[in-house]
Structure formats: structure tokens, C-alpha cells
Amino acid sequence: MEERAEKFLIVGAGPCGLGVAKALKEAGIAYDQAEADTDVGGNWYHGVYETAHIISSRKTTEYADFPMPADYPDFPSRKQMSDYYKLYADTFGLRENIEFETKVVMCRPRAADDRWEVEFAGGAQRLYKGVIVCNGHHWDRRFPEYEGAFTGEWLHSKDYRNPDQIAGKRVLVIGGGNSACDVVSEAARVGAEAHLSLRRGYWFLPKTLFGRPSAESWAMHLPVFLQRMILKTMLRVVVGRYEDYGLPHPDHKLFEHHPTVSSEILHYLKHGRIKPHRDIRRFDGKTVEFVDGERIEVDAIVCATGFFVSFPFLPENLVPVENGNIAKVYAGCVLADYKNIYVFGTQQVRYGVGPLITPAARLLAKIIKLQDAMELPIGLVMKESGARLPDTHLVDPIASLRRMRLADRTLPLLLRREKKLRRKFAAARPPAPSPALRPDPEMRVY
């Protein structure tokens, strides 16, 4: 096994991995970076359909320390986003540490010294000081299950690449999120028929309000209950009742789920190009039966039904994940049971991700340095200091920025807390068990 025991390994060079790499470089923390693909940019390089434009906005998606080019529109295309991340990597000299086409297949904690054994596709093995997981959360496809068998084309929105796949076809899209709206609107343009199946009611927000991206509304700085009140009033004026579009009324409060931002869906519903339907009951060949008994025949079904948060290269349950999408980590990145493993960017930011990456990555660099001064895992110290695990995968960007600013000031206090905890644990420590009774060191370090 090759020794790189003074370095960290960043897994992934998408938007999050790049932001973390820059912060580590600035903080003087030695690292390597492994990227499975051939270039940087993650989803914007390889993972979204060719016609995608961001649904957040340029200003709410660019890194806090690297504005997008001035000639970019409010909603850049996939290509522009991909170019932007390449430019970021080049500008800050991040490529020199990245090994492309290098997939991490296993990271294991080594009980003896808190270091991490890493294995790559191809068999190479290295020993690292620690691992920073930035593998993204929009790739592990979540499919719905129904009775019967569908004999047409059945694909996930992740596998939808370009309009040729659906041109001239009768298409049914399942889901009410952002990808569902994009794909069903594309089907309305190029398909023979476009159908949308919704299990429940959603809040569909227009992409712009008062000529500006909805995500940039001044209202986003207000408390959520006020945002709700203001946005609901605006929606009543701009959109009207969802029932007038044939859509069910939302079954949840605005912002309780990730909001769907699409102006096209309402446009095509009113043109009769998209036909809304209830949840699916069963399939029979190419026939789809909905729960209200309605039946239609389609050629292709696109499941825009979301993703699981998962870490296939970590031992099972090392990072607990609730409901398939809430990674149970303290401060958005650390575990109570293990040192030197950091999980970054698993939460879904309402609107754009960029402005949070920069401060969060800088905070992560501080946490890494603070961990060096501690014996106990910093996650355990946070837990014992009353930090709570997340109960949602959604992040309010403004509240999150506020919490990060506070954490920046209070983080050093954890050092004193850790010393006290060590004394407390030492006083309470029972005599060492006989070797036969000792727990498996691979499973739990602390």
C-alpha cells in the first residue's frame, strides 16, 4: 500500500469538490483529488441533459469568490456551467492535484492510527490521513414501483440526454420536481404527446418575478413564514389557482419540500400540450392506468423521481442516511464515531449551491485543522456539546450562511470542550475488556 499518510483525499471534482480543493489549498492542507470522469464540473460536465439551464440563477449559483462571466445570462446553460467550473479549476490551479479517470471504490478507517485505506478501480491502494467525500447526490437513481409491467421505454431523468430520445413519441413523465418539468416541457415541444403524472400537489414557482430570477427575490432574506406569505400572494396574482391548470392543490406548505421552479410547465398546460394525470395504479403493456381509472397509452416513461444520497465506496452505514436522503452528519460534514472523514454537500440547497460552497469549504478547512489538535473525533465533541443531526435534507441558504458565520466564531471553543470531555471519559472508562470481548476495530473506532 502506497503511503500518502500526510495528505487528504478529496473524492470528486464537481462544484463541491472544487470548492473544497481551493479552500484546502488556501489553508495549506495537503491533498490529492480523485475524479472518476475525464474533466471537472460533475453534473454540469456529465450528469444533466444537454438542454438543461439552471433553475436557480447565476448570482445564487456562482461561488462567493468567483463571479460567473459578465456576459452570462440569468439562467446559464449546461455548457456555460461546465465552462465556468473548468475556468474555476484553471484560475486557481486546481487541476495539478486532480487525477482524472480515477474512481475510488473503497475507503476504510484504520483503527490503529485513524488513517484511511483507499482503493481505486484498477486495484491501486493508498493510505491517506483522511478522506473528504464530495461524490454528489444526484446520481443514484430512485425509481417508483407499480403493479403490472410496462413494455415501452422506461428510463430515469438522469438517463435522459437530449430531445432525440423522445421526439415523435407519446411520453409520460412521473414526478413534479424540476427535472420532471424540464423533461415534460421538452416532450411538449418535440414529442407526439406529453403527459405528467403527479402523486400529490406541488408549488410551481415561475422562474422570474418582477423581471428578476425568483431565487434573487429580496423576500428570501425574510423569515420563512413571511417569505411564504409574500410568495403566496404573488403567486395568486401571477399564476392564480393551480386547479385552473388541471393540477392538484399543493398538499404541503411552500418550502417544506424543494420548490419546483418552472415557467414552462404552466405555459404548456394552458396550451394543452401537457396533460396532467393522477398517480399511476398499474401498467398493462404500453397502457398506463391512473388511480382515478383513466387509461392512456404511451411509448416512453421518464421517471423524474429523484435520487438517493449514497456512498458506495464506504463501509455500509458508516455514514447513516435517513429516508434515503438525509445524511446524519454533524455540522453538515462530520461523524461522532470516526476521525478524518468529512462528507461535504449532501444537502439540497433551496435555489443555488455556489454561495454556500465557498464559506462551507473554508469552515471545513478550519474543522480539519482543529481536529488535528484533538484526540477525540470533532463530531463527538459537537454531539456532546449539544449539536443536533439534521432532520431534513433541505437547506435554507440564508439561515445556513448565518449559522456558518456563528460557527466560524464559536469553533475554537470546541478545543476546550474536547479537553474536558477527554477527562470525563478517562474518569468513566471501565477496565479494558479481554481481547476476546473487544469489538471489531474495523466497525467502530470510538
Ligand X SMILES: Cc1cc2nc3c(=O)[nH]c(=O)nc-3n(C[C@H](O)[C@H](O)[C@H](O)COP(=O)(O)OP(=O)(O)OC[C@H]3O[C@@H](n4cnc5c(N)ncnc54)[C@H](O)[C@@H]3O)c2cc1C
Among 345, 359, 377, 397, binds ligand X (CB under 6 A): 345
Q: What is the 3-state secondary structure (H, E, C) of 180-219?
A: HHHHHHHHHHHCCEEEEECCCCCCEECCEECCEEHHHCHH
Crossing angle for the helix pair 354-372 and 397-410, to the nearest 10 degrees: 20
- Judged by beta carbon, residue 395 or residue 414, the one nearer ligand X is 395
* 117-136: contacts with ligand X (CB under 6 A): 134-136
55 binds ligand X (CB under 6 A): yes
Alpha-helix residue ranges (DSSP H) falling in 38-138:
58-61, 78-91
Among 76, 191, 306, 352, binds ligand X (CB under 6 A): 352
* 6-45: contacts with ligand X (CB under 6 A): 11-17, 34-37, 42-44
Amino acid at 431: P
Alpha-helix residue ranges (DSSP H) falling in 92-149:
none
Q: Number of residues in contact with ligand X, rule: CB under 6 A?
A: 34
Read off the DSSP letter of residue 17. H
Neighbours of 319 (CB within 10 A): 19
Q: How far is the CB of 261 from ligand X (least distance, A)?
A: 8
- Judged by beta carbon, residue 354 or residue 377, the one nearer ligand X is 354
The 10 Å CB-count burial string (b at 16+, else e) for 134-155 is bbbbbebeeeeebeeebebeeb
Neighbours of 353 (CB within 10 A): 23
353 binds ligand X (CB under 6 A): yes
Write the DSSP assignment of 99-114 as a string of letters.
Answer: ESS--EEEEEEETTTT
- Judged by beta carbon, residue 54 or residue 445, the one nearer ligand X is 54
Neighbours of 292 (CB within 10 A): 9
356 binds ligand X (CB under 6 A): no
Residues 6+ apart with CB under 8 A from 64: 354, 355, 357, 358, 359
- Judged by beta carbon, residue 139 or residue 154, the one nearer ligand X is 139
Q: Which stretch binds ligand X (CB under 6 A): 55-63, 159-167, 410-418, 427-435?
A: 55-63
- Judged by beta carbon, residue 190 or residue 229, the one nearer ligand X is 190
Among 61, 260, 262, 340, binds ligand X (CB under 6 A): 61
Rg (CA), the chain: 24
- Judged by beta carbon, residue 48 or residue 173, the one nearer ligand X is 48
- Judged by beta carbon, residue 42 or residue 152, the one nearer ligand X is 42
* 236-255: contacts with ligand X (CB under 6 A): none
Among 88, 150, 283, 313, binds ligand X (CB under 6 A): 313
Quick one: how many helices (H) and strands (E) in the chain?
10, 25
Among candidate residues 205, 153, 151, 171, the one with its CA nearest the CA of residue 277: 171
- Judged by beta carbon, residue 262 or residue 377, the one nearer ligand X is 262
Largest pairwise CA distance in the chain:
75
Q: How far is the CB of 166 from ligand X (least distance, A)?
A: 15
- Judged by beta carbon, residue 304 or residue 368, the one nearer ligand X is 304
Q: For residues 140 and 380, give the distance between their C-alpha atoms in angstroms, rounded to a whole number.
A: 29
Q: How far is the CB of 205 from ligand X (least distance, A)?
A: 13
Q: How far is the CB of 351 from ligand X (least distance, A)?
A: 7
Cα 286 from chain centre: 33
332 binds ligand X (CB under 6 A): no
* 130-189: contacts with ligand X (CB under 6 A): 134-136, 138-139, 178-179
Among 103, 267, 273, 282, binds ligand X (CB under 6 A): 103
Q: Which stretch binds ligand X (CB under 6 A): 53-61, 198-206, 383-391, 409-417?
A: 53-61
Residues contributing to the site for ligand X (CB under 6 A): 11-17, 34-37, 42-44, 47-48, 52, 54-56, 61, 103-104, 134-136, 138-139, 178-179, 313, 345, 352-353
